[in-house]
Structure 1
Amino acid sequence: MSPTVDEHAATVARLLARAAGPAIDAVPVAEARGRITASDVRSGVDLPLFRNAQMDGFAVRAADVERTPVALEVAGDIPAGHVVAVRHVSGTAIRIMTGAPMPDGADAVVPVEDTELVLGRDDDLRGAVVEIRRPRRPGEYVRERGSDLRRGEVLVPAGTLLAPRHLAALAAAGVRSVPVRSRLRVGILTTGSELVTDGGPAAFGRIFDANGIALAALVEEAGAVVSSQEASDDDPATFARLLDRAVADSDLVVTSGGISRGAYEVVREVLEPRGAVVTTVAMQPGGPQATAVVDGVPVLCFPGNPVSTQVSFVVFLRGPLRDAAGLPPIGPERARLADAVHSVPGKRQFLRGRWADGVVAPVSGPGSHLVAAMARADVLIDVPADVESLRAGADVTVWTL
C-alpha cells in the first residue's frame, strides 16, 4: 500500500534528523545578513559610547541661557572625532559639531540656527562672541552615554534573522563577528542522459536541466547552502561517482529523476542495493519518492519531472530545512476556490493556483511537465486524497510557493 503524504513526510523528517544539528558558526558581521543568531549578542560597550552633541551648535550651561538673547564668549571649538577632553567654563559657549564629545560642565546644546556670531568668523573664532537667541533646558540636544543601550545588555537576541539594521547596531557596538546557526550543506544531483547542462542548444530528444537551477534556488531560499550541483547521465558508474563526491561534501544530498519503475532508472539501480527505500506516495504530482543513507549522509530522491521536483521540495523538504536554519515556518493558508476542480481518487493532489484576496484560481492542468504553468502559480492547492471534486467557492488549503 502506498504511503500517504504525511507518512512520507514523517519518514523524511526522521531521515533529516541525521543532518540537522546545533552547530554554530562565527561569521564576520559584514557577511552575516540573512543568518540566524545562535545566541544572544550582548554589547561590550555603552551606546552611545560617550556623551555627545545631537546637533551642530554651541555647548552651554542651561543656567547661562535662561534669559535670551544673551551674548557669550566662544571659548573653544569641538569637531566630531575630537579626542581630548574639554572643560566648559560657566558664562561661555563652545562651538560643537554633531557627534562630538560634550565638554565637562556643559549640559545643553543650542542649535546653530538659534545663534549668531556677533564677533569673529566661522573660520576664526579667536575673540568670538555668539548671541544665543533661545533658552535651553538641561539635557536638550545632548545624547547621554548609554542612553541607547548599556554595556552587557542584549543587542540582538538569539533567533534573530539578521537584517541590515541589526548589522548596523552590531557594528556600532564594535562587534566583529556574530554567532549564527550553521547552514546545512546540501548537494544537488540531477539525472538523465537527456539533460543539456553545458549551455549549448537542445538537440532533438534532449531537454534543458531545469531541476538543478530550481533545487539550488529552493535550497538557498530555505536557509541552507548548496555544497555541490552536478548532473549525471544514466550510466550507473557515473552516477555512483558523482553521488560519492556529493556525499563527501554535504550534510544532505537531493537527487531528481531515476526512481520510477521503468528502465534506465539510474538512481534506483545504484541506491536500492545500498539500502534505499523506493516507494510511490499517494500524491500527484510527485508520486515516486526514495530515501537512503550513504556513508552516514541522508539522500532524498525526488522524481524528475520539473513540477514534481518542485512540489516534492515544497511538501517534504522546505519545512525541515527552514526549521534546521531557524527560519519561521511557512504554514498552510485557507482560501476559496474560484472554479470547480476534479481530483484523482485515492491520491492527494497538489494543483497549481494563483491566490488573491482570499480566492484561489487553478492555473492550467495537473500535468507534472507544465513548468511554465508552474511559473505562473504562486500557491499549491491541496486537495485531500478522499476528495474527487470540489465546487467553486469551496474552502481549500493552499501552500505558498
Structure 2
Amino acid sequence: MLLPRSVAAHQHAVIDLLAGVVPTKPYKTLPLLDALGKSLADDLPAPTSLPPFTNSQMDGFAVRSAEIANGGGQLRVAAPAPAGAPATTLTPGTTVPIMTGAMIPDGADAVVPIEKAVPDAFPDLHDITASVWLPPTTPGTFIRDVGSDVAQGECALPAGTLLGPAQLGLLAALGMPRVQVRQPLRVLLVTTGDEVLEPGSILAEGKIYDANGTLLEASLRQAGVDVVRTSISDDNPETLVTILRRYTRVAEGSVDLIVTNGGVSKGAYEVVRLAMSGHPVKFLTVAMQPGGPQGIGTFDGVPFLGFPGNPVSCLISFEMFLRPALCLLQGNPAPRQKQRGRLADALKSPEGKHQVRRGTLDKDGVVRMEGGAGSHLIHSLARSNSLVHIPDDVTELSAGAEVEVWTL
C-alpha cells in the first residue's frame, strides 16, 4: 500500500510539472494599464534618472548656504524659478523664490522653506527692491539630487515583478508608455460529473449546481491566468477525452495546462481517472485534508492537474499547489500573506494529515473557525477571510494556541 504523498512533495511535483512550460512562454508588449497584474518579462534598466534633474523638495528660497551661515541673513529676492522652467543662475547676495519640483539654480546648494522666511511669503514679482531674511541652513537641505530615486541604467525593476499601481507609476515616471510582460498561461478548465448542472438551469432531483467552475475560474483569473472554460463533461470518459483533444490538438487553440475537477477519487466510475488511461498521469493521495485525492501528469503532452470535486477541496488544492507554483515560476500572483494567529477555540485534527481549515482572523490576531472540516461547506468558505494550517504532526490544539494563517 502506497503511503500518502506529503504536501511539500506534491508542491514540488506541481512546480516541476510547470517548470518546462512557464519559461518558454513568449513575451508581449502592452500599454501600461493593460499590464496591470502581469509579470515583468526581463530586468528593466532605468532609461532615465529619477529625478531627471536636481530640484527643490519644498516651496521656498534657493540659496548659497555659506551666505547665511552665521545666524542667517538678509538677501535680495531675484526672479523666481517656477516648476517646468529652465534653470536660472543664482548671483551672489541674492535668493531665488523656488517652487517644489523646480530646477535648482546654478550656484545654489540649499532651499529654505517659505514658512521659515521673514516675511513668510513670496514678494510681489514686480518689486525689484524686495528682500527676505532667511535662517541658516546647510548644503543639500531640501534638495533632491538627480538620480537620487533611481539612476539611469540602474535596475528599476527585476524580471518577474508583479506590476501593480506603484510599479506602473514608476514606469510612467521613467517615460515608458508600454512594457514587456510575460504572457500568461492559458489554462483549460473542465468540470466533470453527471450530477452537475450549470447555474441558471432547472435543478432536477439528484442534481447540484456547478460551484467549482466559477470558484476555480475566478481563482485562476485573479492569479493572472487566461482561462478557457468548457461545458460540463458527463461521466462518459470518451466525452471528456473529446473535449480535451479539442485543445491539445489545436482545433480550438492550444493550452498550456489542463485543470479538471471531480472524478479523481478511488471509486469505480471516476471519469477523469478513466479518461487518463494510457496517459502518464498519476492519481494519488496527498496527506492533506481537505483535498487529499489528486491527479498529476500529462495528457497528449500537455501538463495536467486533476483536483477533487468538492468545492472546498477544489479551492484548497488550488491554493496549496497551483497558486504557489504560478507565483514562483511566473511572478504572479503575489504570495499569500502568512502570519500567526491565536485560536479562539480548541480544535482537533486527524493524525498524519496537514489540515487546512477556513477561518476569520480579526484585527486582534484571534482566528475563529468557520464551519467544520467538511469539504462541501462552501457557505463557511464564503464567510472566511483566511486559511488556517494545522501541521500533520498535530492532533489537538487548545484555545489560544498559535497557528499559521494565510489571509485570503
Taking structure 1 as the reference length, the TM-score comes to 0.77
Distance 2:204 2:318 in 1: 29
Q: Deviations over 1:165-191 (max 9, x none)?
A: 333333323244455555433221112
Q: Which amino acid aligns with 1:210?
A: A
- Distance in 2 between residues matched to 1:336 and 1:265, nearest whole Å: 38
1:150 matches 2:151: yes
1:188 corresponding residue in structure 2 = 189
% identical equivalent positions: 40
Contact 2:188 2:258 survives alignment (8 Å): yes
Residue 126 of structure 1 corresponds to which residue in structure 2? 126
1:34, distance to aligned residue in structure 2 (A): 4.2
Change over 3 Å in CA distance of 1:369–1:92 after alignment to 2: closer
SS of the residue 2:329 aligns to:
helix
Structure 1 position 300, deviation (Å): 0.9
CA distance 1:224–1:296, change in 2 (3 Å): farther
- For residue 395 of structure 1, report the CA deviation from its aligned partner: 7.6
Q: Secondary structure at the match of 1:129?
A: coil
Give the superposition deviation at 1:75: 4.2
Hey, what's the Cα distance between the residues in 1 that align with 2:18 and 2:3?
A: 18
Decide whether aligned partners of structure 1 residues 225 and 286 sit closer, same or farther in structure 2, where only a CA change above 3 A counts.
Answer: same
- Write out aligned runs for 1:78-97 (5 A): 78-83=81-86, 85-97=87-99
Match runs of 1:358-373 below 5 Å: 363-373=370-380
User: Is 1:103–2:110 an aligned residue pair?
Assistant: no
**CA displacement at 1:225 relative to structure 2:** 0.6
Q: Which letter does structure 1 place at the counterpart of 2:154?
A: E
- Of 11-20 and 62-71, the range deviating more from structure 2: 62-71
- 1:142 and 1:13 map into 2 onto residues whose CA distance is 48
Question: Which amino acid counterpart does residue 100 of structure 1 have in structure 2?
Answer: A
Partner of 1:354: 359
- The code of the aligned residue for 2:225 comes to V
SS for the counterpart of 1:239 is helix
Q: Is the 8 A contact 1:228 1:246 kept in 2?
A: no
Structure-2 separation of matches of 1:320 and 1:117: 58
Shift of 1:49: 1.2
Give yes or no for contact 1:65–1:132 (8 Å, CA) kept in 2: no
Kindly indicate whether residue 74 of structure 2 is the aligned counterpart of residue 70 of structure 1.
yes
CA RMSD of aligned residues (A): 4.1
**Structure 1 equivalent of residue 18 of structure 2:** 16
Q: Deviations over 1:278-321 (max 9, x none)?
A: 44556554344323422321111112121222233334333322
Structure with the greater alpha carbon radius of gyration: 1
CA contact (8 A) 1:71 1:129 kept: no
Say which of 313, 322, 333 aligns to 1:317.
322
The residue identity in structure 2 corresponding to 1:19 is V
Aligned positions of 1:51-70 closer than 5 A: 51-62=54-65, 65=68, 70=74
Distance 1:117 1:303 in 2: 71
Counterparts of 1:257 and 1:244, CA distance in 2: 19
Name the one with the larger strand percent: 1
Task: Pick which of 54-63 and 186-195 moved more.
Answer: 54-63
The 8 Å contact of residues 183 and 225 in structure 1, kept in 2 or not, is answered as yes
Cα separation, partners in 2 of 1:375 and 1:185, compared to 1, 3 Å: same
Label 1:203 to 1:79 Cα distance change in 2 as closer, same or farther (>3 A).
farther
Distance between the aligned counterparts of 2:365 and 2:146, measured in 1?
Answer: 50
Distance 1:381 1:149 in 2: 40
CA distance in 2, matches of 1:275, 1:333: 40
Are positions 1:341 and 2:348 aligned together? yes
Matched letter for residue 257 of structure 2: L
8 A contact 1:187–1:229 mirrored in 2? yes
- Unaligned runs of at least 5 residues, structure 1: none
| Number of residue pairs the alignment of both structures matches | 391
Q: CA deviation at 1:40?
A: 3.7
Q: 1:132 deviation in Å?
A: 0.9
Match in the other structure for 2:275 = 270
**What TM-score does the superposition give when structure 2 sets the normalisation length?**
0.76
Amino acid at match of 1:252: L
Once structures 1 and 2 are overlaid, which stretch shifts more, 305-314 or 275-284? 275-284
